[in-house]
Structure 1
């Protein structure tokens, strides 16, 4: 007959076990025991909250961290292009200015700098296309199997 081990007393559940519980790294039997102990002990719940707040990854799962990581407030590259051309609704343009200049979003600033560099150097794009056409023209005879 299998007899369950007695539930560890809240005082016997150490910080490492609580960290394992928070990271979902404990065996299922121990997870269930810790969860039951947490339901029954306010002091253990308080200790769990202390452990949660002391974790290195504490801020990784906060709403703000998720928001920043997913870049939910960032404009698309196309929208940034419209911003450069001053072709946005004034309120949206003002928001993008705030996002770029006040919030200083590094992703959007890099995107904007890239778009600005592309718009400033249209002659380089033209030269590149012209070079491609010259190369293609000079090698057309190699592509034609008949030699015509």
Structure 2
């Protein structure tokens, strides 16, 4: 296994569980045997616990570069300007923001459920139509 060079930003992203899955796996494998990496991570955790924050850390932790849920919805529906869609694509695929990927997946799942809803409503109505008719007949005296 080859050792990778990790930036402090990547180590902090790992702490926040924001690294892409492949990079997290690489990091965790290397972390098991690399004492230097373990020491660096320990120092970063200590620095963070002492209240040391860079603008970049705050920016990343607060998700300031992340598109809003409504922007992700517009991206999914392909209703946004090309430049904005390009940024979201870059954010999702190149940066690999796991939070935004999860939000997009949730929106996709919700869209699929919404598409299935009319058929589901029709089946419920058809399965209960006889029951509703029997109930209406018994109410008439």
Q: TM-score w.r.t. structure 2 length?
A: 0.50
The structure, 1 or 2, with the larger RCO (C-alpha pairs under 8 Å, 6+ apart) is 2
Larger proportion of helix: 2
The structure with the larger Rg is 1
